[in-house]
Structure 1
Amino acid sequence: MVAFNVRPDIDAAAEKLSSSFGAKREIQRLPEVLWEGETVEMLATGLYGKGNGLLAMTNQRLVFYFNGLMSQKVEDFPYNRISSVQWAGGMLMGTLTVFTSGNKAEIKQVPKDQGKALADLLRQRISQAPATAAPPAAPGVASAPAPGQDIASRLATLDQLRAQGLVSDEEYAQRRTQILDSL
């Protein structure tokens, strides 16, 4: 497998891909579409609409990202908006169907092993998602904590980001102070 050297969480997820064919550009540019503090848990490749792209399951949402030469597509599915997930697998590939607010998105040509694992993890995640949580703010926009997110869980998330090397010691200290000041 090709080493990407993008970010520790993205690199770890990319190493588990059976093939990154058709998604190398997307893996390299994935940090551009992620929100501040968002970490990647799992990646898969697939075909959605007119483009072969990348499915990224993060700690906050499912993202389909296609970055072509002439066009770009980003579609996200926050966990609290997903009502159900279907997986239909063939011999080598399958289709992941995500149902949200009366709409459905079919991501085709997902490698069978990645698709099944992603569908299972998504089902687990949406069963735990609070139904009334507010969606995260756009990148670079400060927001108040989500209603169900207490101080301890925010500090735990910050500790995880620091342990993964995603925030510097200086940024860690600053954000920890902000969290504690919100008491």
Structure 2
Amino acid sequence: MPTFNVRPDIDAAAAKLGSTLGAGREIKRLPEVLWEGETVEMLATGVYVKGNGLLAMTNLRLIFLKHGITGQQVEDFPYGKISSVQWASGLLAGTLIVFASGNKAEIKQVPKQVGKDFADKLRMHIATGSTPGSPTAPAAAPVPQQQDVAQRLATLDQLRGAGAITDAEYQDRRTAIINSI
């Protein structure tokens, strides 16, 4: 596994990748597209539109970065705009489908386990109404309806049951949901 020495958060996420083949240039260029205070939590390789690139999950948004010789392609999906996530897996890889602001983005050829982890973390965000890695829901979140709270708690239970989140994360998210009432 190559060492990139970009930033501690990016290096840690890159170290968890099975292979960085086709994404080395993007990993090195990732700091150029990050916002101030934005940190990288997970990385994956994939194909979006017609280019191989890097999928980055940060504390604020999901980013697809393709840095080629002649140009750069960046598309981001702020968590507040993501309405749904789908994961379709094949033998070795799969497709992560993100529905955001009425658009559908298909990131193909994502390694199987990494893609499942991405989908689970994105679903957790949708279920809890907070960005991945944050301990509580945003202060400006609207007061949820009782049915919405029950649905969010049920989804949270499913994530813990599937092993997608730890017991500590479960307790933090559950407390955030209860406190949002």
Report the TM-score, using the length of structure 2 for normalisation: 0.71
Residue 148 of structure 1 is matched in structure 2 by 140
Please report how far the alpha carbon of residue 50 of structure 1 lies from its aligned counterpart in structure 2 after TM superposition.
1.5
Structure 1 residue ranges, 4+ long, deviating more than 3 angstroms after superposition: none
Separation (CA, whole Å) in 2 of partners of 1:7 and 1:65: 17
Please report how far the alpha carbon of residue 88 of structure 1 lies from its aligned counterpart in structure 2 after TM superposition.
0.2
The 5-angstrom pairing of residues 21-170 of structure 1 reads: 21-129=21-129, 148=140
Alignment size in residue pairs: 134
Residue 83 of structure 2 aligns to a residue whose secondary structure is strand
Please report how far the alpha carbon of residue 6 of structure 1 lies from its aligned counterpart in structure 2 after TM superposition.
0.3
Please report how far the alpha carbon of residue 102 of structure 1 lies from its aligned counterpart in structure 2 after TM superposition.
1.2
Residue 13 of structure 1 aligns to a residue whose secondary structure is helix
Coordinate RMSD, CA, aligned: 1.4
Separation (CA, whole Å) in 2 of partners of 1:121 and 1:147: 21
Residue 63 of structure 2 aligns to a residue whose secondary structure is strand
Please report how far the alpha carbon of residue 71 of structure 1 lies from its aligned counterpart in structure 2 after TM superposition.
2.0
Separation (CA, whole Å) in 2 of partners of 1:17 and 1:59: 18
Tell me the alpha carbon deviations over residues 87-118 of structure 1, each in whole angstroms, 9 at most, x when there is no partner: 00000010000001111000000000110011
Name structure 2 gaps, 5 residues minimum.
Answer: 131-137, 142-181
Name structure 1 gaps, 5 residues minimum.
Answer: 131-145, 150-183
Please report how far the alpha carbon of residue 129 of structure 1 lies from its aligned counterpart in structure 2 after TM superposition.
2.7
Please report how far the alpha carbon of residue 147 of structure 1 lies from its aligned counterpart in structure 2 after TM superposition.
5.7
Residue 117 of structure 1 aligns to a residue whose secondary structure is helix
Equivalent residue letter for 2:140: G
Please report how far the alpha carbon of residue 126 of structure 1 lies from its aligned counterpart in structure 2 after TM superposition.
2.1
Please report how far the alpha carbon of residue 23 of structure 1 lies from its aligned counterpart in structure 2 after TM superposition.
0.4
Residue 155 of structure 1 is matched in structure 2 by none
Q: Does 1:12 align with 2:12?
A: yes
